[in-house]
Each structure stands twice: as C-alpha cells, then as structure tokens.
Amino acid sequence: MNIPVRIEPSAGPPAPVGYRWDEDTDILTAQVEDVKAGRSLSVDVEGSDGSWLILDVTDDRIRGVEVAVWPTVRKLADLKPPSVIESVLVRVGRDGAPGVSAVEVDTPVAAESDDDERTIHFRLGPGRQVRTVRIARDMLLDIDTRDRLAGVWLLDVPPFPVNP
C-alpha cells in the first residue's frame, strides 16, 4: 500500500464535514465543505474482501471519502481517536505523474466503529505505527512513519436513515 503524503502546517481552523447516506446502496459520503474547484484525483482503495473506499483529492488534498462497498465493521464500545491530534494540511503525492486523474490501490481494509456507529475508523494496509492528524473538523488521517496514508477516521457520522 503506497499513498504518499506530505504534511504541512494548517492555514486556519478545520473545515466542517458534510455527510450523506445513499439509502438504496448504503454508500456513505463524507465531504469537506470548503472545497473549491481545482485539479482532481480519485484514489480508489480496494480491499482484499471486495470493499471500496474512494478518496476524492482536489489540488493534492483529500477533500472527501466515499465508502462504496463496506468491509466487515467490527464494533468496539470504547473506540475513540487519539486524544492529542494536530490540525494540518495533508497533500497527496502523485508519484511524479501530474496528469493522472485516477489511481487504484489494492490493500487490506479493516473497519471498526463505536457501538452507535458515530465514529468509524478504516485501517488501510498492514498494521504499523502511525500518528493521527486532523484535516477537517470530523475527518482524521493516520499517517505512518514513512509518510504514507494508513487510515481514515470519520467522526460524528449521522445514523443511517431508517424509513418509517
């Protein structure tokens, strides 16, 4: 698994995240709300179990996450992100290919949530030492010691809509 990133100081307060559930497909979309049009890249992360996460990258920054096919979600009553989290800008590397608009990465994807499914953590690739950083109010990233993306946290996720 190799999604290289570069961490830079934050330019201001973290932007809000808007969530949207597609009731027909169970797709969850989390979008950073201050996105402006720019150069875009789709990073498709395919899990070995058939799961799919799509990272929407605009101007080299992760601006959205779509859970297209869910991996098995393990519930952990005490799941919480680390208590100390630095707000930063994270730029996604394009590995010397500036004209590329889509990249597909095959790697194990694991998902865990708290009991209420309001906090969801996706682990990408093999387990390794990480630090967790904030890129938006309710979106965190795990970055490994070699500056590669290792996980995504979604916080304050609204419940899945239930039809009466």
- Whether 164 and 156 have beta carbons less than 8 Å apart is answered as no
31-45, 105-119, 143-157, range with the lowest pLDDT = 31-45
What is the chain's mean pLDDT, rounded? 89
pTM for the full predicted model: 0.92
Q: Which residue has the higher pLDDT, 2 or 19?
A: 19
13 vs 150: CA distance, rounded Å: 24
Q: Is the pLDDT of residue 99 over 80?
A: no
Distances in Å between the alpha carbon of 142 and those of 12, 43, 57?
20, 16, 16
Binned at pLDDT 50, 70 and 90, residue 35 comes out as low
Residue 77: both structure tokens together: 């009553």
Query: How far, in Å, CA of 90 to CA of 132, rounded?
Result: 11
Residue 161 in this model has a pLDDT that exceeds 70: yes
Domain assignments of the chain as residue spans, ordered by start? 5-154
pLDDT given at position 155: 97
Give the pLDDT band (50/70/90) at residue 140: very high
Give how far Cα 55 sits from Cα of 87, 115, 116, 126, 127, Å: 19, 25, 24, 19, 20
pLDDT at 94: 58
Q: Which of 90, 92, 79 minimizes the C-alpha distance to 121?
A: 79
Percentage of the chain with pLDDT > 90?
Answer: 70
